[in-house]
Amino acid sequence: MRYSKIFSKSTKSTSADNESINAKLLTQAGFVDQEMAGVYTWLPLGLAVLRNIEQIVREEMDALGASEIFMPSLQPKEYWDTTNRWEGVDVLFKLKSQTGKDYALGCTHEEVVTPLVKKFVQSYKDLPLATYQINTKFRDELRAKSGVLRGREFRMKDMYSFHTNQEDLSAFYQKTLKAYVRAYNRCGLQVKVVQASGGVFTQNLSHEFQAITDAGEDVLIACNSCEFGENSEIATHNEGDACPTCNAVLVKTKGIEVGNIFDLGTKYSDAFELEFTNEEGKRQRVLMGCYGIGTSRLVGSIVEASHDEKGMIWPKSIAPALVHLVRIGEDAESVEAADGLYNELRAAGIRVFYDDRDTTAGAKFGDADLMGLPLRLTVSKRMLAESVVEWKERTATEATKVPRTDVLASVKTFAQA
């Protein structure tokens, strides 16, 4: 990606939403643009991060044996009446067709997936099954003021599973819980797994996945070593106690909910009469689970958890590119050298963001820190004279010099480290 070729540039102006670090940094770096409160355009660099996260989540869901689908956001009122949620869900966006018919904009997809699966499931032989999508969700949030953490239009991966018995559902639920922790860790984020207080689904099991950062809305009593956490409102442990799972110390922290899984029991299969014929030939209700990850909220959570006074610090796995190549100088020699390195790295499959603009070194270095790609490489006349490239990792304080002939090998090693 050449900086000169993308129209979205970094900007000094902060968004109106300057209370939140993620909105400020993502906007200044040209990753997102706020259209209105809680609604954002994902610009090329931000979209690259979102896609990288969604690809990691996709791989983890595929590994569970779930199949990917894509469901409509436009949903008929009848489905929402069937579950009594047309009136019951306060954040549901409702709209009217010119024909007079009412529709909901999907804030979740139980109302679509349950009747969908009903068309395909007849007997126990058709179960279990799991299906997921990565889609845009709409919620009429009153407090859309934390940047991409709380959107009114946002991205979510939602998976639904269908089972003949509780044992099978519970086993899949536990497998999914582990896959979630893996997905967050692959995105460079440590999470706490918190048993949820219930809410709508009080009698059944539910877990939230909490990213630890000061920007969080939830207060937790969490282990400072393993994934154990409790919501402070219903905690059975105190700050300073020993962790019940690993014996390390429990501390009080703030968290952002980046995922939530539920054992739904027969709540939706009762509403839609989703049944299967069991081995004795009797009709039985299907048991369901649902599993959500807020993929756009994850982008913001990672910014909140990983930045310094100069800007964002992206983990390699989800960074828009591994290398931020800076060219200083517009002379033919510098241009040829920098273009050459850009092409060499790309040919080797390295993701490179190339700042080929005609602007000052200060502006380019400032942008590199703000954008937070893992490795900055600088080509300049001074470096060319020594046959070296300047090497500066985003998390390091000092820059070093690497012989031009060693750069590709060093970058490959860095990519794998």
Binding site for ligand ATP (CB under 6 A): 108, 139, 141, 150-151, 154, 156, 257-260, 292, 294, 296-297
Dist. CA 344–CA 74, nearest whole Å: 46
Per partner kind, with CB cut-offs from 5 to 8 A, the member of Mg ion, ligand ATP, none near residue 150 is ligand ATP
- Phi-psi sector, 38: left (phi>0), alpha (psi -120 to 50), beta: left
Binders of Mg ion among 215-254, rule CB under 5 A? none
CB of 257 to ligand ATP, least distance (A): 4
Number of CB atoms found within 10 A of residue 340's CB? 12
Per partner kind, with CB cut-offs from 5 to 8 A, the member of ligand ATP, Mg ion, none near residue 156 is ligand ATP
Dist. CA 285–CA 268, nearest whole Å: 10
CB of 13 to ligand ATP, least distance (A): 24
| Cβ nearer to ligand ATP, comparing 292 with 374 | 292
Per partner kind, with CB cut-offs from 5 to 8 A, the member of ligand ATP, Mg ion, none near residue 141 is ligand ATP
Residue at shortest CB range from ligand ATP? 294
Binders of Mg ion among 256-275, rule CB under 5 A? 260
Nearest to 375 by CA among 390, 393, 362: 393
CB of 103 to ligand ATP, least distance (A): 20
CB of 256 to ligand ATP, least distance (A): 8
Alpha-helical (H) ranges within 232-390 are: 267-272, 295-305, 332-347, 361-371, 381-385
Report the residue count for the chain.
417
CB of 44 to ligand ATP, least distance (A): 21
| Cβ nearer to ligand ATP, comparing 139 with 316 | 139
| Cβ nearer to ligand ATP, comparing 258 with 323 | 258
Q: What is the DSSP string of 281-303?
A: S-EEEPEEEEEEE-HHHHHHHHH
CB of 391 to ligand ATP, least distance (A): 36
Task: Count the residues of the shown chain that bind Mg ion, applying the rule CB under 5 A.
Answer: 1
Task: Give 142: exposed, middle or buried? Use CB within 10 Å, 0-12, 13-18, 19+.
Answer: exposed
CA 123-127-132 angle, 5° bins: 135
Residues in touch with Mg ion (CB under 5 A): 260
